Structure 1
Protein backbone atom coordinates (compact mmCIF):
# COMPACT_ATOMS: atom_id res chain seq x y z
CA UNK A 1 0.00 0.00 0.00
CA UNK A 2 1.24 3.52 -0.77
CA UNK A 3 0.02 6.41 1.35
CA UNK A 4 -0.31 9.55 -0.74
CA UNK A 5 0.39 12.73 1.20
CA UNK A 6 1.37 16.32 0.47
CA UNK A 7 5.19 16.10 0.33
CA UNK A 8 5.63 19.33 2.30
CA UNK A 9 2.91 19.48 4.95
CA UNK A 10 2.71 22.13 7.63
CA UNK A 11 4.75 21.57 10.78
CA UNK A 12 3.20 18.90 12.95
CA UNK A 13 1.49 19.83 16.18
CA UNK A 14 2.63 18.54 19.56
CA UNK A 15 3.12 14.79 19.50
CA UNK A 16 5.79 12.70 17.85
CA UNK A 17 8.69 14.93 16.85
CA UNK A 18 11.23 12.37 15.70
CA UNK A 19 11.46 8.87 14.29
CA UNK A 20 14.29 6.46 15.02
CA UNK A 21 14.84 3.55 12.68
CA UNK A 22 16.74 0.32 12.93
CA UNK A 23 19.22 -0.26 10.08
CA UNK A 24 19.52 -3.95 9.18
CA UNK A 25 16.35 -5.46 7.66
CA UNK A 26 14.53 -2.16 8.26
CA UNK A 27 16.37 0.15 5.88
CA UNK A 28 19.05 -2.13 4.48
CA UNK A 29 18.12 -5.44 2.82
CA UNK A 30 20.78 -7.41 4.68
CA UNK A 31 19.24 -10.80 3.95
CA UNK A 32 19.57 -10.24 0.21
CA UNK A 33 23.22 -9.23 0.60
CA UNK A 34 24.04 -12.04 3.02
CA UNK A 35 22.37 -14.70 0.87
CA UNK A 36 24.20 -13.47 -2.22
CA UNK A 37 27.52 -13.54 -0.37
CA UNK A 38 26.98 -17.03 1.00
CA UNK A 39 25.99 -18.30 -2.43
CA UNK A 40 29.18 -16.80 -3.85
CA UNK A 41 31.22 -18.45 -1.09
CA UNK A 42 29.75 -21.99 -1.17
CA UNK A 43 28.01 -22.10 -4.56
CA UNK A 44 24.48 -22.87 -3.36
CA UNK A 45 21.44 -21.38 -1.60
CA UNK A 46 20.63 -24.62 0.21
CA UNK A 47 22.96 -23.81 3.11
CA UNK A 48 21.12 -20.57 3.94
CA UNK A 49 18.94 -21.97 6.79
CA UNK A 50 22.04 -23.36 8.49
CA UNK A 51 23.81 -20.00 8.17
CA UNK A 52 20.79 -18.21 9.63
CA UNK A 53 20.60 -20.53 12.63
CA UNK A 54 24.32 -20.29 13.37
CA UNK A 55 24.31 -16.52 12.88
CA UNK A 56 21.47 -16.09 15.39
CA UNK A 57 23.38 -18.15 17.95
CA UNK A 58 26.69 -16.34 17.54
CA UNK A 59 25.29 -12.83 17.12
CA UNK A 60 23.50 -13.20 20.45
CA UNK A 61 26.91 -13.78 22.03
CA UNK A 62 28.19 -10.56 20.48
CA UNK A 63 25.21 -8.47 21.61
CA UNK A 64 25.66 -9.66 25.21
CA UNK A 65 29.40 -8.83 25.15
CA UNK A 66 30.43 -12.46 25.43
CA UNK A 67 32.62 -12.13 22.34
CA UNK A 68 33.95 -9.35 20.10
CA UNK A 69 32.55 -8.79 16.62
CA UNK A 70 35.56 -9.94 14.61
CA UNK A 71 36.02 -13.02 16.79
CA UNK A 72 32.31 -13.76 16.49
CA UNK A 73 32.56 -13.68 12.69
CA UNK A 74 35.43 -16.17 12.71
CA UNK A 75 33.72 -18.49 15.20
CA UNK A 76 30.50 -18.35 13.20
CA UNK A 77 32.30 -19.31 10.00
CA UNK A 78 34.04 -22.21 11.74
CA UNK A 79 30.73 -23.43 13.16
CA UNK A 80 29.03 -23.14 9.77
CA UNK A 81 31.59 -25.26 7.92
CA UNK A 82 31.77 -27.70 10.85
CA UNK A 83 28.05 -28.30 10.36
CA UNK A 84 28.97 -29.74 6.95
CA UNK A 85 31.89 -31.78 8.27
CA UNK A 86 34.76 -29.39 7.48
CA UNK A 87 37.08 -28.31 10.28
CA UNK A 88 38.74 -24.90 9.78
CA UNK A 89 41.50 -23.28 11.77
CA UNK A 90 41.19 -19.60 12.69
CA UNK A 91 43.30 -18.40 9.75
CA UNK A 92 41.27 -20.25 7.13
CA UNK A 93 37.98 -19.22 8.73
CA UNK A 94 39.10 -15.58 8.75
CA UNK A 95 40.08 -15.83 5.08
CA UNK A 96 36.71 -17.24 4.05
CA UNK A 97 34.88 -14.68 6.19
CA UNK A 98 36.84 -11.91 4.48
CA UNK A 99 35.74 -13.22 1.07
CA UNK A 100 32.12 -13.49 2.22
CA UNK A 101 32.16 -10.00 3.74
CA UNK A 102 33.55 -8.43 0.57
CA UNK A 103 30.87 -10.15 -1.50
CA UNK A 104 28.16 -9.01 0.91
CA UNK A 105 29.28 -5.39 0.81
CA UNK A 106 29.02 -5.43 -2.98
CA UNK A 107 25.35 -6.41 -2.58
CA UNK A 108 24.27 -3.87 0.05
CA UNK A 109 21.06 -2.11 -1.03
CA UNK A 110 18.06 -0.32 0.44
CA UNK A 111 14.56 -1.74 0.44
CA UNK A 112 12.44 -0.04 -2.23
CA UNK A 113 10.19 1.61 0.37
CA UNK A 114 13.01 3.37 2.25
CA UNK A 115 13.73 6.45 0.15
CA UNK A 116 10.07 7.56 -0.24
CA UNK A 117 9.47 7.08 3.48
CA UNK A 118 12.56 9.01 4.58
CA UNK A 119 11.71 11.84 2.19
CA UNK A 120 8.19 12.07 3.59
CA UNK A 121 9.40 12.01 7.20
CA UNK A 122 11.90 14.78 6.52
CA UNK A 123 9.33 16.88 4.64
CA UNK A 124 6.96 16.56 7.59
CA UNK A 125 9.54 18.21 9.82
CA UNK A 126 10.32 15.12 11.86
CA UNK A 127 13.87 14.59 13.05
CA UNK A 128 15.45 11.25 12.12
CA UNK A 129 17.90 8.89 13.80
CA UNK A 130 19.31 5.41 13.30
CA UNK A 131 19.54 3.09 16.31
CA UNK A 132 21.43 -0.09 15.50
CA UNK A 133 23.34 -2.97 17.09
CA UNK A 134 26.85 -3.68 15.72
CA UNK A 135 30.31 -2.09 15.63
CA UNK A 136 30.23 1.62 14.86
CA UNK A 137 32.60 1.63 11.90
CA UNK A 138 30.79 -1.26 10.25
CA UNK A 139 27.32 0.27 10.56
CA UNK A 140 28.47 3.72 9.51
CA UNK A 141 30.11 2.16 6.45
CA UNK A 142 26.73 0.64 5.51
CA UNK A 143 24.94 3.95 5.97
CA UNK A 144 27.44 5.73 3.73
CA UNK A 145 27.52 2.94 1.12
CA UNK A 146 23.76 3.10 0.51
CA UNK A 147 23.64 6.90 0.40
CA UNK A 148 22.01 7.66 3.75
CA UNK A 149 24.81 9.58 5.48
CA UNK A 150 23.06 12.95 5.11
CA UNK A 151 19.58 11.76 6.14
CA UNK A 152 19.93 11.48 9.91
CA UNK A 153 20.21 13.94 12.76
CA UNK A 154 21.75 11.24 14.95
CA UNK A 155 23.33 7.82 14.50
CA UNK A 156 23.40 5.68 17.64
CA UNK A 157 25.35 2.42 17.39
CA UNK A 158 25.68 -0.12 20.19
CA UNK A 159 29.39 -0.59 19.54
CA UNK A 160 29.96 3.11 20.22
CA UNK A 161 27.66 3.69 23.19
CA UNK A 162 28.37 0.43 25.02
CA UNK A 163 24.80 -0.87 25.29
CA UNK A 164 22.67 -2.71 22.75
CA UNK A 165 18.98 -2.97 21.97
CA UNK A 166 16.73 -3.86 23.72
CA UNK A 167 18.52 -2.13 26.64
CA UNK A 168 16.49 1.04 27.35
CA UNK A 169 19.68 3.10 27.60
CA UNK A 170 20.43 2.96 23.88
CA UNK A 171 16.96 4.27 23.02
CA UNK A 172 17.25 7.02 25.65
CA UNK A 173 20.66 7.94 24.29
CA UNK A 174 19.03 8.50 20.90
CA UNK A 175 16.38 10.72 22.49
CA UNK A 176 19.04 12.75 24.30
CA UNK A 177 20.96 13.29 21.06
CA UNK A 178 17.76 14.43 19.39
CA UNK A 179 17.03 16.75 22.31
CA UNK A 180 13.62 15.16 22.90
CA UNK A 181 11.72 13.23 25.55
CA UNK A 182 11.12 9.52 24.88
CA UNK A 183 7.37 10.11 24.54
CA UNK A 184 8.09 12.48 21.65
CA UNK A 185 9.96 9.82 19.66
CA UNK A 186 8.85 6.75 17.69
CA UNK A 187 11.17 3.85 16.92
CA UNK A 188 10.65 1.50 13.97
CA UNK A 189 12.41 -1.85 13.63
CA UNK A 190 11.99 -5.34 12.22
CA UNK A 191 12.51 -7.22 15.49
CA UNK A 192 9.45 -7.24 17.71
CA UNK A 193 11.25 -7.78 21.01
CA UNK A 194 14.54 -6.03 20.31
CA UNK A 195 13.14 -2.98 18.52
CA UNK A 196 9.44 -2.34 19.05
CA UNK A 197 8.94 -3.70 22.56
CA UNK A 198 12.41 -2.59 23.64
CA UNK A 199 11.66 0.97 22.56
CA UNK A 200 8.27 0.88 24.26
CA UNK A 201 9.86 -0.19 27.53
CA UNK A 202 12.18 2.82 27.24
CA UNK A 203 9.18 5.14 26.92
CA UNK A 204 9.24 5.62 23.13
CA UNK A 205 6.47 4.71 20.70
CA UNK A 206 7.67 1.31 19.47
CA UNK A 207 6.51 0.21 16.01
CA UNK A 208 7.10 -3.27 14.62
CA UNK A 209 8.04 -3.48 10.95
CA UNK A 210 6.74 -6.97 10.23
CA UNK A 211 8.08 -7.35 6.69
CA UNK A 212 7.67 -11.14 6.70
CA UNK A 213 4.08 -10.97 8.02
CA UNK A 214 4.88 -13.20 10.96
CA UNK A 215 1.97 -14.58 12.94
CA UNK A 216 1.54 -12.87 16.31
CA UNK A 217 -1.56 -13.07 18.50
CA UNK A 218 -0.83 -9.72 20.15
CA UNK A 219 2.27 -7.73 19.33
CA UNK A 220 1.42 -5.20 22.04
CA UNK A 221 2.68 -2.41 19.76
CA UNK A 222 1.53 -0.94 16.44
CA UNK A 223 2.65 -3.07 13.49
CA UNK A 224 3.19 -2.35 9.80
CA UNK A 225 4.29 -4.63 6.98
CA UNK A 226 6.33 -2.10 5.01
CA UNK A 227 7.49 1.50 5.36
CA UNK A 228 4.82 2.71 2.93
CA UNK A 229 2.38 2.20 5.81
CA UNK A 230 4.34 4.30 8.31
CA UNK A 231 2.95 7.72 7.28
CA UNK A 232 -0.65 6.54 7.76
CA UNK A 233 0.21 5.29 11.22
CA UNK A 234 2.01 8.48 12.22
CA UNK A 235 -0.54 10.89 10.80
CA UNK A 236 -3.13 9.85 13.40
CA UNK A 237 -0.78 11.11 16.09
CA UNK A 238 0.77 14.02 14.21
CA UNK A 239 -2.34 15.49 12.61
CA UNK A 240 -5.28 14.13 14.56
CA UNK A 241 -3.53 14.08 17.92
CA UNK A 242 -4.69 10.55 18.71
CA UNK A 243 -2.55 7.86 20.30
CA UNK A 244 -1.25 5.03 18.17
CA UNK A 245 -3.14 1.85 18.96
CA UNK A 246 -1.42 -1.53 19.48
CA UNK A 247 -1.66 -3.85 16.47
CA UNK A 248 -2.88 -1.05 14.22
CA UNK A 249 -2.22 -2.06 10.58
CA UNK A 250 -1.19 -5.57 11.61
CA UNK A 251 -2.03 -7.86 8.65
CA UNK A 252 -5.21 -9.90 8.90
CA UNK A 253 -4.77 -13.40 10.30
Structure 2
Protein backbone atom coordinates (compact mmCIF):
# COMPACT_ATOMS: atom_id res chain seq x y z
CA UNK A 1 0.00 0.00 0.00
CA UNK A 2 1.15 3.51 -0.84
CA UNK A 3 -1.88 5.45 0.41
CA UNK A 4 -4.89 5.26 2.69
CA UNK A 5 -8.17 7.09 2.17
CA UNK A 6 -10.46 7.69 5.12
CA UNK A 7 -14.12 8.60 5.18
CA UNK A 8 -14.75 11.58 7.45
CA UNK A 9 -18.16 11.57 9.18
CA UNK A 10 -18.43 8.79 11.75
CA UNK A 11 -14.98 7.52 10.76
CA UNK A 12 -12.48 10.20 11.77
CA UNK A 13 -15.06 12.75 12.94
CA UNK A 14 -17.81 11.88 15.42
CA UNK A 15 -20.73 13.31 13.47
CA UNK A 16 -23.40 11.32 15.27
CA UNK A 17 -22.16 12.32 18.71
CA UNK A 18 -21.71 15.95 17.72
CA UNK A 19 -25.16 16.10 16.14
CA UNK A 20 -26.83 14.59 19.20
CA UNK A 21 -25.19 17.09 21.55
CA UNK A 22 -26.13 19.91 19.18
CA UNK A 23 -29.79 18.90 18.87
CA UNK A 24 -30.15 18.59 22.63
CA UNK A 25 -28.62 22.02 23.28
CA UNK A 26 -30.55 23.68 20.43
CA UNK A 27 -33.91 22.21 21.42
CA UNK A 28 -33.34 23.16 25.06
CA UNK A 29 -32.53 26.69 23.92
CA UNK A 30 -35.91 26.80 22.20
CA UNK A 31 -37.54 26.09 25.57
CA UNK A 32 -38.37 22.44 24.85
CA UNK A 33 -37.30 19.17 26.44
CA UNK A 34 -34.49 17.53 24.42
CA UNK A 35 -35.76 13.96 24.51
CA UNK A 36 -34.21 10.86 22.98
CA UNK A 37 -37.21 10.69 20.65
CA UNK A 38 -36.56 14.18 19.29
CA UNK A 39 -32.92 13.32 18.67
CA UNK A 40 -34.00 10.19 16.80
CA UNK A 41 -36.47 12.19 14.73
CA UNK A 42 -33.79 14.75 13.81
CA UNK A 43 -31.54 11.91 12.64
CA UNK A 44 -34.41 10.39 10.65
CA UNK A 45 -35.08 13.71 8.92
CA UNK A 46 -31.40 14.06 8.05
CA UNK A 47 -31.31 10.51 6.70
CA UNK A 48 -34.33 11.28 4.51
CA UNK A 49 -33.24 14.69 3.20
CA UNK A 50 -29.44 14.50 2.89
CA UNK A 51 -29.49 11.90 0.07
CA UNK A 52 -31.36 14.45 -2.04
CA UNK A 53 -28.37 16.76 -1.69
CA UNK A 54 -26.02 13.94 -2.67
CA UNK A 55 -28.19 13.21 -5.71
CA UNK A 56 -27.97 16.84 -6.80
CA UNK A 57 -31.64 17.58 -6.20
CA UNK A 58 -30.87 20.15 -3.49
CA UNK A 59 -27.96 22.45 -2.73
CA UNK A 60 -26.27 22.08 0.64
CA UNK A 61 -28.18 25.10 1.97
CA UNK A 62 -31.47 23.87 0.53
CA UNK A 63 -31.16 20.54 2.32
CA UNK A 64 -30.74 22.45 5.59
CA UNK A 65 -33.99 24.30 4.91
CA UNK A 66 -35.80 21.09 4.03
CA UNK A 67 -34.66 19.51 7.28
CA UNK A 68 -36.18 22.41 9.21
CA UNK A 69 -39.42 22.23 7.23
CA UNK A 70 -39.74 18.63 8.35
CA UNK A 71 -38.48 19.03 11.93
CA UNK A 72 -40.01 22.28 13.18
CA UNK A 73 -43.59 20.90 13.01
CA UNK A 74 -42.41 17.96 15.14
CA UNK A 75 -41.42 20.54 17.75
CA UNK A 76 -44.79 22.25 17.38
CA UNK A 77 -43.11 25.37 16.01
CA UNK A 78 -44.12 27.42 12.96
CA UNK A 79 -42.12 27.04 9.77
CA UNK A 80 -40.85 30.36 8.39
CA UNK A 81 -41.86 31.01 4.81
CA UNK A 82 -38.79 32.96 3.69
CA UNK A 83 -35.54 31.11 2.99
CA UNK A 84 -33.58 33.75 4.89
CA UNK A 85 -35.65 33.17 8.02
CA UNK A 86 -35.11 29.42 7.76
CA UNK A 87 -31.39 30.03 7.44
CA UNK A 88 -31.43 32.11 10.61
CA UNK A 89 -33.20 29.32 12.48
CA UNK A 90 -30.69 26.76 11.25
CA UNK A 91 -27.84 28.88 12.57
CA UNK A 92 -29.11 28.03 16.06
CA UNK A 93 -28.50 24.35 15.43
CA UNK A 94 -25.32 24.91 13.43
CA UNK A 95 -23.73 26.97 16.20
CA UNK A 96 -24.29 24.15 18.66
CA UNK A 97 -23.10 21.56 16.13
CA UNK A 98 -19.83 23.39 15.51
CA UNK A 99 -19.19 23.80 19.23
CA UNK A 100 -19.59 20.01 19.61
CA UNK A 101 -17.20 18.97 16.85
CA UNK A 102 -14.79 16.28 17.99
CA UNK A 103 -12.56 13.60 16.52
CA UNK A 104 -12.77 9.99 17.61
CA UNK A 105 -9.94 9.25 20.07
CA UNK A 106 -8.35 6.81 17.63
CA UNK A 107 -8.36 9.20 14.66
CA UNK A 108 -5.10 11.02 15.32
CA UNK A 109 -3.20 7.83 16.28
CA UNK A 110 -4.37 6.21 13.03
CA UNK A 111 -3.25 9.14 10.92
CA UNK A 112 0.08 9.24 12.70
CA UNK A 113 0.57 5.50 12.13
CA UNK A 114 -0.21 5.95 8.43
CA UNK A 115 2.13 8.94 8.18
CA UNK A 116 4.85 7.07 10.05
CA UNK A 117 4.58 4.19 7.58
CA UNK A 118 5.13 6.59 4.69
CA UNK A 119 1.60 6.41 3.36
CA UNK A 120 -0.07 9.28 1.54
CA UNK A 121 -3.34 10.19 3.33
CA UNK A 122 -6.61 11.22 1.77
CA UNK A 123 -10.13 11.95 2.96
CA UNK A 124 -13.11 11.21 0.72
CA UNK A 125 -16.42 12.47 2.04
CA UNK A 126 -19.97 12.95 0.80
CA UNK A 127 -20.37 16.56 1.83
CA UNK A 128 -19.71 20.25 1.37
CA UNK A 129 -16.02 21.19 0.97
CA UNK A 130 -16.17 24.28 3.18
CA UNK A 131 -17.78 22.49 6.10
CA UNK A 132 -15.80 19.28 5.78
CA UNK A 133 -12.45 21.08 5.65
CA UNK A 134 -13.56 23.23 8.58
CA UNK A 135 -14.24 20.07 10.58
CA UNK A 136 -10.77 18.71 9.90
CA UNK A 137 -9.20 22.00 10.94
CA UNK A 138 -11.33 22.29 14.09
CA UNK A 139 -10.53 18.78 15.30
CA UNK A 140 -6.82 19.25 14.64
CA UNK A 141 -6.34 16.72 11.86
CA UNK A 142 -6.03 18.88 8.74
CA UNK A 143 -2.23 19.04 8.82
CA UNK A 144 -1.98 15.25 8.73
CA UNK A 145 -3.97 14.89 5.50
CA UNK A 146 -2.60 15.33 1.98
CA UNK A 147 -5.82 15.40 -0.06
CA UNK A 148 -9.49 16.09 0.73
CA UNK A 149 -12.16 15.31 -1.85
CA UNK A 150 -15.86 16.03 -1.35
CA UNK A 151 -18.91 14.99 -3.32
CA UNK A 152 -20.00 18.57 -3.86
CA UNK A 153 -16.76 19.58 -5.59
CA UNK A 154 -16.61 16.33 -7.59
CA UNK A 155 -20.22 16.59 -8.74
CA UNK A 156 -20.93 12.97 -7.77
CA UNK A 157 -21.06 11.13 -4.46
CA UNK A 158 -19.85 7.78 -3.21
CA UNK A 159 -20.28 5.07 -4.48
CA UNK A 160 -19.74 6.64 -7.93
CA UNK A 161 -16.40 5.25 -9.25
CA UNK A 162 -15.15 8.77 -10.00
CA UNK A 163 -15.00 9.63 -6.31
CA UNK A 164 -12.48 6.92 -5.46
CA UNK A 165 -10.49 7.18 -8.70
CA UNK A 166 -10.23 10.97 -8.50
CA UNK A 167 -8.94 10.76 -4.94
CA UNK A 168 -6.36 8.15 -5.90
CA UNK A 169 -5.24 10.34 -8.81
CA UNK A 170 -4.89 13.36 -6.53
CA UNK A 171 -2.77 11.26 -4.16
CA UNK A 172 -0.59 10.09 -7.05
CA UNK A 173 -1.31 6.39 -6.52
CA UNK A 174 -3.07 3.56 -8.31
CA UNK A 175 -6.31 2.10 -6.89
CA UNK A 176 -4.60 -1.22 -6.18
CA UNK A 177 -2.02 0.60 -4.05
CA UNK A 178 -4.69 2.25 -1.92
CA UNK A 179 -6.60 1.26 1.22
CA UNK A 180 -10.02 2.81 1.90
CA UNK A 181 -11.46 2.80 5.43
CA UNK A 182 -14.95 3.93 6.43
CA UNK A 183 -18.00 3.22 8.52
CA UNK A 184 -20.46 2.73 5.65
CA UNK A 185 -20.21 -0.74 4.11
CA UNK A 186 -21.79 0.21 0.79
CA UNK A 187 -20.17 3.62 0.28
CA UNK A 188 -16.73 3.12 1.82
CA UNK A 189 -16.06 -0.55 1.24
CA UNK A 190 -18.07 -2.18 -1.55
CA UNK A 191 -17.91 0.87 -3.81
CA UNK A 192 -14.16 1.21 -3.32
CA UNK A 193 -13.51 -2.48 -3.91
CA UNK A 194 -15.52 -2.34 -7.14
CA UNK A 195 -12.89 -0.05 -8.70
CA UNK A 196 -9.85 -1.90 -7.39
CA UNK A 197 -9.07 -0.40 -4.00
CA UNK A 198 -8.45 -2.50 -0.93
CA UNK A 199 -11.16 -1.53 1.57
CA UNK A 200 -11.98 -2.25 5.19
CA UNK A 201 -15.18 -1.63 7.12
CA UNK A 202 -14.92 0.31 10.37
CA UNK A 203 -17.70 -1.14 12.52
CA UNK A 204 -17.37 0.49 15.92
CA UNK A 205 -20.36 -1.48 17.22
CA UNK A 206 -18.21 -4.61 17.26
CA UNK A 207 -15.13 -2.87 18.65
CA UNK A 208 -13.20 -2.03 15.50
CA UNK A 209 -10.64 0.75 15.78
CA UNK A 210 -8.82 2.66 13.07
CA UNK A 211 -5.27 1.68 14.18
CA UNK A 212 -6.40 -1.96 14.27
CA UNK A 213 -7.53 -1.82 10.64
CA UNK A 214 -4.24 -0.20 9.63
CA UNK A 215 -2.28 -2.87 11.50
CA UNK A 216 -3.72 -5.43 9.08
CA UNK A 217 -1.56 -3.98 6.28
TM-score for both structures, normalised by structure 1: 0.79
Aligned residues: 209
> 5+ residue gaps in structure 2?
29-33
SS at 2:5's partner residue? Answer: strand
Match of 1:78 in 2: 69
Consecutive unaligned residues in structure 1, runs of 5 or more: 1-15, 214-223, 235-253
Q: Secondary structure at the match of 1:212?
A: helix
Partner of 1:3: none
* Higher helix content, 1 or 2: 2
Alignment of 1:157 onto 2:150? yes
How many angstroms does 1:91 deviate by? Answer: 4.2
Determine if contact 2:123/2:148 at 8 Å carries over to the other structure: yes
Displacement of 1:212? 2.4
Aligned partner (choices 27, 30, 42) of residue 51 of structure 1: 42
Superimposed CA distance per residue, residues 5-59 of structure 1 (whole angstroms, 9 cap, x where no aligned partner)? xxxxxxxxxxx11100011110011111111111111121421110111100100
**8 Å contact from structure 1 (residues 38, 45) kept in 2:** no
Which structure has the higher relative contact order (CA within 8 Å, separation 6+)? 2
Aligned residue in 2 for 1:66? 57
Q: CA deviation at 1:197?
A: 0.9
Change (3 A) 1:202 1:45: farther
Q: Distance in 2 between matches of 1:32 and 1:226?
A: 17
C-alpha displacement of 1:83:
2.9
Aligned to 2:20: 35
Contact residue 108 and residue 141 of structure 2 kept, 8 A: no
Q: SS of 1:150's equivalent?
A: helix
Q: Which moved more, 1:63-72 or 1:153-162?
A: 153-162
CA displacement, residues 94-144 of structure 1 (integer Å, 9 cap, x when unaligned): 222111101111111110011111111111111110001111111111111
* Equivalence map 1:71-220=2 (5 Å): 71-89=62-80, 90-213=83-206
Residues 202 and 210, structure 2, Cα contact 8 Å, conserved in 1: yes
**Superposition deviation, residue 210 in structure 1:** 0.8
CA contact (8 A) 1:169 1:202 kept: no
Q: Larger Cα Rg: Structure 1 or Structure 2?
A: 1
Task: Confirm or deny that 1:229 pairs with 2:212.
Answer: yes
What do you get for the CA RMSD once the two structures are aligned?
A: 1.4
